[in-house]
A = this chain, B = another copy of it.
Amino acid sequence: MTVKQLSLPALVDACTRLGVPAVGLWREPVAQYGLEATAALVRDAGLAVTSLCRGGFLTALDDGDRARALANNRTAIDEAVTLGTDTLVLVSGGLPPGSRDLVAARERVADALVSLAPYAADRGVRLAIEPLHPMFAADRCVVSTLDQALDLAERFPARQVGVVVDTYHIWWDDRAPAAVARAGTTGRIHSFQLADWTTPLPAGVLTGRGQLGDGAIDFRHWLALVESAGWAGFIEVELFNEELWAREGAEVLAETATRFTACTQPASR
């Protein structure tokens, strides 16, 4: 999504030229290019697929909506298998129309996981609950903190359900460092994502994820916490940003790679 202006072949080409070894994919562009074709494209290029984004949206009250959401998530799990990734990111969903009950909505997410988690694990896929920033609690994700995500995940084995640690969503939370340790202890950090917090936020706030280094987040601090918690996997950079999307994609990817190095390498002495 960081460079959604690029076609998948152009993305793979740019990753290869920059030495980016792995990529996180979203379902919509994969469906557009073709699932099998995408799988072949990344496999032939030797690119690892860090995660598939996204399943979830599991808070519906209506039985029909709920059945459709579960079916859609099983499809997403199958897609993850085909793409060769072991991680499906879940965005839990917001409050249904007219509802004001966050607690009940979170419980419906847990109920849905009871059927989805074994289905995923049987196919070698881990579900990764992504807590989204509290500004998304009403309309996108009723799971707002890393601790809430872990409260849900810990009802299941770690190989079935874990969490996404995304700096953008948790950077403000003074309890998040302890939650990162908690996630690491139980082997539940299934994805680690970076984006910077820049202001002012745009209308709708979804496309405010800032380029690394442009905002308020201390990435070395979070990287150290996640590494201390045992993380040794790939790190995803996930930016939604109209200004970046309006620029030439390969240039944005190159800039992002440079920023990534600058923001994550040890401070110079």
Contact of A100 among B134, B199, B217 (CB under 8 A): B217
Residues of B within 8 A of A215 (CB): 138
Instruction: Answer whether residue A239 sits at the interface, using C-beta atoms and an 8 A cutoff.
Output: no
Chain A residues near B (Cβ < 8 Å): 95, 100-103, 133-135, 137-139, 144-145, 148, 171-174, 197, 199-205, 215-218, 221
Contact of A134 among B101, B103, B133, B203 (CB under 8 A): B133
User: Within the assembled complex, what's the spacing in Å between the Cα atoms of A218 and B105?
Assistant: 14
User: Within the assembled complex, what's the spacing in Å between the Cα atoms of A137 and B169?
Assistant: 12
CB closest residue in chain B, given A215: B138
Residues of B within 8 A of A135 (CB): 133-135, 201, 205
Q: Separation in Å of the A53 CB from the closest CB of chain B? A: 21
Asked if A205 contacts B201 (CB within 8 A), the reply is yes
CB closest residue in chain B, given A217: B100
Contact of A218 among B100, B145, B148, B202 (CB under 8 A): B100
Asked if B201 contacts A173 (CB within 8 A), the reply is no
User: Within the assembled complex, what's the spacing in Å between the Cα atoms of A218 and B201?
Assistant: 26
Asked if A200 contacts B203 (CB within 8 A), the reply is yes
Q: Separation in Å of the A129 CB from the closest CB of chain B? A: 15
Asked if B134 contacts A216 (CB within 8 A), the reply is no
